[in-house]
Amino acid sequence: MNTRETLSPWQLAERAHAMNPSAIREILKVTERPGILNFAGGLPSPETFPVEAMHAACAAVLGEDLNVARASLQYASSEGLPELRQWVAAQMAKQGAHISPDQVLITTGSQQGLDLIAKVLLDKGSRMLVESPTYLGALQAFTPMQPSIESVESDFGGVSAPALRKALEKGERPRFIYLLPNFQNPTGRTMDEARRNDVIAVCREFGLPIVEDNPYGELWFESQPPAPLLARWPEGVLYLGSFSKILAPGLRLGYVIAPPELYPKLLQAKQAADLHTPGFNQRVVAEVIKDGFLDRHVPTIRDRYHQQRDAMLAALQRELGDTGAEWTRPVGGMFIWVRLPEGLIAKDLLPAAVDAGMAFVPGAPFYAENADPRTLRLSFVTSTPEQIDRGMAALAKVVRGAGR
Amino acid sequence: MNTRETLSPWQLAERAHAMNPSAIREILKVTERPGILNFAGGLPSPETFPVEAMHAACAAVLGEDLNVARASLQYASSEGLPELRQWVAAQMAKQGAHISPDQVLITTGSQQGLDLIAKVLLDKGSRMLVESPTYLGALQAFTPMQPSIESVESDFGGVSAPALRKALEKGERPRFIYLLPNFQNPTGRTMDEARRNDVIAVCREFGLPIVEDNPYGELWFESQPPAPLLARWPEGVLYLGSFSKILAPGLRLGYVIAPPELYPKLLQAKQAADLHTPGFNQRVVAEVIKDGFLDRHVPTIRDRYHQQRDAMLAALQRELGDTGAEWTRPVGGMFIWVRLPEGLIAKDLLPAAVDAGMAFVPGAPFYAENADPRTLRLSFVTSTPEQIDRGMAALAKVVRGAGR
């Protein structure tokens, strides 16, 4: 009875059926009740944003030289601002990774780097590997290209080298493994020197490329993390970095460092994706950082997050120490990962936790497969030590109540 | 002799082989010689950028209320800033398209809108239609998803309705047709009221959805263009708009207006692509435009471009009027499309033109198929009338020389 005109004319691509609303975003809606002590978010603390420096930089870019102002508002190169590309190369050199500025592609947040990598490296059905658990935003970037995503067994030190070897001994060679070695989102865990070497050795032996994501690496508390994987295997690692956690995420400024053979394809994908990352933002950030501003600013973020982590570890020990719950002890970053006592399911506990006045994120959505339903993620960076104390007490009440 | 380790570990996705360096970018390199009168670019005039208003808006966002400043630098919603989504809906209503702000997705330039549409609507081998010629950046956004792109015969009034009908009477239903109805890039042509109605009638009859791209619509010279296609078939049109030509492209701020059934998928693709468009840029632009700034500013751009178009049309008539060359007479936008006398090939003429002191873009790369090698594109917006006079004289010298 329908004529063609009354039917929808739109037909979705097959990959669109693989896209789903973020489970986390749906969960976060539950936590947005006013007055809730919120440990569920993944946001950096807005108190760390250098508002005055940004204000001064905008004034310098727009208010001094009309040619500079106009250039910052015009179309720009897809590769990114030379000053930023040089800065990235200099920063990496300090960490033992010697790359050329020509290998740096400025992206619209490092999330865009993940999207470009997926486009350039993943076919439908391509095998690829991730840690267990892994960053949810990466799964969302990879999924639309319809790869077959496989989890490699991981422990509190990151991905397991023997498990990785086992995965590589059978089946086709994966396109890459996605790793987040420093203060991982969601677990807070870090790969130590020995683990990095073991994993790199297996990857080199089997010719398995690595996508190394490092948004949190600068947020260390007592000592710098070991050298990046990129420094250990320059031709086999694609590296992602970001200004979101050391300046501000609302600028959407990140970067990819690519081996020379991959760079042109990523650049072409970048051109097609958004022509270039906003030149105005690049120019303003170059102005902010040009005189070593980050050398003074980042330590203040480290100090703040360090105190907050200490408060949360102490509160967890005090409140949950005798419940059988376990948690990570991150040496940097923003997150602690908790595993509830046997028999409890984090997702089922969330409504009671919200009623008790606190919110966390259940861990299950962070697993590509074989989710552990007892896990949950806590962010310690947007709450005061006092709020952390109250929040962990509320969590403990719920855990004890559920355990009875 | 090679061990696995000495071979590249990287394997490209099939779609990466379909990505190619922009032919235009390669050509533009030839034209970057200092002192060249450059009509090859696609950039708006930097003299139209509202530097002072931007400066004041940045100061207002960052220097008045600390909470506003911090919010502008924090992660933001993927949909976009409510103030901008409301502004877009209000602007569209003035043009007869009544949409809800909920249908507006703010994008990182309208190029990103094209990328998201490609991801959500195109499978490998999907049939899709474009005008002839068409916007090169759209071809670059669609190509990585490996559709089968088919050109529909077009004339100086845009795509031909009878040709479109003919294309639809055979073969599978295309996923969509991509149209740029106002002052098209590259030709400068506009679809008039009758053509719009004819094309919409055919699209409705065959259930062919439309992607309507309108970056230049506000740049009219004497009268507003006819109502957008969106106003004529709300459920069958995806509409793309941009702040690049009315404020500044370096902000990378555009938008997609989607039928409610498509919006969630585009939003999910947006989240995966870059989480959200820089919130800082959105907040600053909302501040710039909030008191009707564009109602005062855009007319100054129109006046400027109008004079430049007049100068170029007069110079073309004077210099090339008797050569057999033809050209469009755009009633808005930034470009004039020239068809050289029979026997001449624009690409072959370019080196001589550059030697004579001027540059254009050959038209062939703008065709998805059946390129007309006699065509070329001239931008009139970044040169003064006096430069236009000299440039067209130089072009004429080369055309006459080649014709001899």
Which CATH number goes with the domain that contains A161?
Answer: 3.40.640.10
Q: Do B19 and A269 touch (CB under 8 A)?
A: yes
Segment A34-42 shows an average pLDDT of 90
Segment B323-346 shows an average pLDDT of 97
Between residues 194 and 213 of chain A, which touch chain B (CB distance below 8 Å)? 203-209
Q: For the segment B57-114, what is each residue's pLDDT rounded down to a tens digit?
A: 999 999 999 999 999 999 999 999 999 999 999 999 999 999 999 999 999 999 999 9
Among chain A residues, the shortest Cα distance to B258 is held by A10
Is B337's pLDDT higher than 90? yes
The pLDDT confidence band at residue B1, using thresholds 50, 70 and 90, is very low
CB < 8 Å to B74, chain A: 43-44, 46, 49, 248-250
**A to B CB pairs, distance under 8 Å:** 271
Among chain A residues, the shortest Cα distance to B78 is held by A25
Q: Is the ipTM of this complex over 0.85?
A: yes
Of A44, A206, A273, the CB nearest to B115: A273
User: Does residue B117 contact residue B257 with C-beta atoms inside 8 Å?
Assistant: no
The reported pLDDT for the residue numbered A404 is: 58
The pLDDT confidence band at residue B31, using thresholds 50, 70 and 90, is low
| pLDDT above 70 coverage of chain B, percent | 96
B223 close contact with A: CB closer than 8 A: no
Among chain B residues, the shortest Cα distance to A275 is held by B111
* Co-location of B107 and B253 in the same domain: yes
Of B12, B145, B248, the CB nearest to A73: B248
Residue B397 C-alpha, separation from nearest chain A C-alpha, in angstroms: 31
Residue A82 belongs to a domain: yes
Residue B287 belongs to a domain: yes
CB < 8 Å to A252, chain B: 108, 274-278
Q: Which of A259, A290, A321 is the last residue of a domain?
A: A290
Q: Do A262 and B10 touch (CB under 8 A)?
A: yes
* Co-location of A87 and A223 in the same domain: yes
B104-107 and B254-257 strand pairing: antiparallel
User: Does residue B174 contact residue B143 with C-beta atoms inside 8 Å?
Assistant: no
Between residues 284 and 343 of chain A, which touch chain B (CB distance below 8 Å)? none
- What contacts A30, CB < 8 A, 6 or more positions away? A350, A351, A354, A359
Q: For the segment B142-194, what is each residue's pLDDT rounded down to a tens digit?
A: 999 999 999 999 999 999 999 999 999 999 999 999 999 999 999 999 999 99
Helix segments in A152-292, DSSP class H:
161-169, 193-206, 229-232, 263-274, 279-289
A76 close contact with B: CB closer than 8 A: yes
Strand partners, A254: A107, A242
Is A372's pLDDT higher than 50? yes
- What contacts B45, CB < 8 A, 6 or more positions away? B301, B304, B305, B381, B382
Determine the 3-state secondary structure of A52 from DSSP: helix
User: Does residue A372 contact residue A134 with C-beta atoms inside 8 Å?
Assistant: no
Residue A217 belongs to a domain: yes
> Domain count of chain B?
2
DSSP-assigned states of every residue in A114-147: HHHHHHHH--TT-EEEE-SS--HHHHHHHGGG--
Between residues 247 and 266 of chain A, which touch chain B (CB distance below 8 Å)? 248-252, 259, 261-262, 264-265
* Co-location of B326 and B264 in the same domain: no
Q: Cα B393 from chain centroid?
A: 28
* Co-location of A242 and A304 in the same domain: no
Is A330's pLDDT higher than 60? yes
d(CA A265, CA B269): 21
B112 close contact with A: CB closer than 8 A: yes
Determine the 3-state secondary structure of A340 from DSSP: coil
B212: amino acid identity, one letter: E
Q: Which of A290, A321, A348 is the last residue of a domain?
A: A290
The reported pLDDT for the residue numbered A5 is: 46
Show the tokens assigned to B24: 């235009």
B159: amino acid identity, one letter: V
DSSP state of A341: P
Residue B226 belongs to a domain: yes
A373 closest CA partner among A353, A346, A404:
A346
Q: Do B49 and A74 touch (CB under 8 A)?
A: yes
Burial status of residue B174 (CB atoms within 10 A of its CB: 0-12, 13-18, 19 or more): buried
The reported pLDDT for the residue numbered B5 is: 46
Q: Do B280 and A250 touch (CB under 8 A)?
A: yes
Residue B1 belongs to a domain: no
Q: For the segment B184-209, what is each residue's pLDDT rounded down to a tens digit?
A: 999 999 999 999 999 999 999 999 99
CATH number of the domain that residue A326 is part of: 3.90.1150.10
The reported pLDDT for the residue numbered A403 is: 63
Segment A16-20 shows an average pLDDT of 88
Q: Cα B68 from chain centroid?
A: 33
| pLDDT above 90 coverage of chain B, percent | 92
* Co-location of A167 and A307 in the same domain: no
* Co-location of B226 and B119 in the same domain: yes
B326-327 and B335-339 strand pairing: antiparallel
* Co-location of B121 and B201 in the same domain: yes
A382 close contact with B: CB closer than 8 A: no
Residue B4 belongs to a domain: no
Segment A121-144 shows an average pLDDT of 96
Q: Do B119 and A144 touch (CB under 8 A)?
A: yes
Q: Do A280 and B141 touch (CB under 8 A)?
A: no
Q: Do B10 and A273 touch (CB under 8 A)?
A: no
Question: Which of B24-28, B290-294, B363-367 has the lowest average pLDDT?
Answer: B24-28
CB < 8 Å to B174, chain A: none
B198: amino acid identity, one letter: D
- Mutation pick from B26, B119, B128, B242 vs chain A, by most beta carbons of A within 10 Å, is B119
Q: Which of B270, B293, B316 is the last residue of a domain?
A: B293
* Co-location of A83 and A230 in the same domain: yes
The pLDDT confidence band at residue A6, using thresholds 50, 70 and 90, is low
* Co-location of B273 and B396 in the same domain: no
Q: Do A271 and B140 touch (CB under 8 A)?
A: yes
The reported pLDDT for the residue numbered B97 is: 98
Q: For the segment B255-314, what is each residue's pLDDT rounded down to a tens digit?
A: 999 999 999 999 999 999 999 999 999 999 999 999 999 999 999 999 999 999 999 999
The reported pLDDT for the residue numbered A2 is: 40
Among chain B residues, the shortest Cα distance to A109 is held by B274
**Residue A172, domain extent:** 73-290
The reported pLDDT for the residue numbered A197 is: 98
Among chain B residues, the shortest Cα distance to A243 is held by B73
Q: Do B262 and A141 touch (CB under 8 A)?
A: no
Is A188's pLDDT higher than 90? yes
Number of Cβ atoms within 10 Å of the Cβ of B313: 18
* Co-location of B86 and B110 in the same domain: yes
Residue A1 belongs to a domain: no
The pLDDT confidence band at residue A1, using thresholds 50, 70 and 90, is very low
d(CA B32, CA B361): 12
Is B398's pLDDT higher than 90? yes
Q: Do A12 and B269 touch (CB under 8 A)?
A: no
DSSP-assigned states of every residue in A355-400: HTTEE-EESGGG-SSS--TTEEEEE-SSS-HHHHHHHHHHHHHHHH
Number of Cβ atoms within 10 Å of the Cβ of A205: 13
CB < 8 Å to B69, chain A: 49, 51, 54-55
- Mutation pick from B2, B73, B277 vs chain A, by most beta carbons of A within 10 Å, is B73
Q: Do A109 and B275 touch (CB under 8 A)?
A: yes
Segment B365-377 shows an average pLDDT of 96
A289: amino acid identity, one letter: I
Task: Calculate helix-pair angle for B385-403, B346-356, nearest 10 degrees.
Answer: 120
Residue B65 belongs to a domain: no
* Co-location of B95 and B170 in the same domain: yes
- H, E, C per residue of chain B: CCCHHHCCCCCCCHHHHHCCCCHHHHHHHHCCCCCCEECCCCCCCHHHCCHHHHHHHHHHHHHCCHHHHHHHHCCCCCCCCHHHHHHHHHHHHHCCCCCCHHHEEEECHHHHHHHHHHHHHCCCCCEEEECCCCCHHHHHHHHHHCCEEEECCEECCEECHHHHHHHHHCCCCCCCEEECCCCCCCCCCCCCHHHHHHHHHHHHHHCCCEEEECCCCCCECCCCCCCCHHHHCHHHEEEEEECCCCCCHHHCCEEEECCCCCHHHHHHHHHHHHCCCCHHHHHHHHHHHCCCHHHHHHHHHHHHHHHHHHHHHHHHHHHHCCCCCEECCCCECCEEEEECCCCCCHHHHHHHHHHHCEECEECHHHCCCCCCCCEEEEECCCCCHHHHHHHHHHHHHHHHHHHC
* Co-location of B252 and B388 in the same domain: no
Segment B316-328 shows an average pLDDT of 97
Q: Do A108 and B252 touch (CB under 8 A)?
A: yes
Segment A235-264 shows an average pLDDT of 97
Strand partners, B211: B178, B238
Of B16, B203, B250, the CB nearest to A280: B250
d(CA A88, CA A82): 10
The reported pLDDT for the residue numbered B20 is: 80
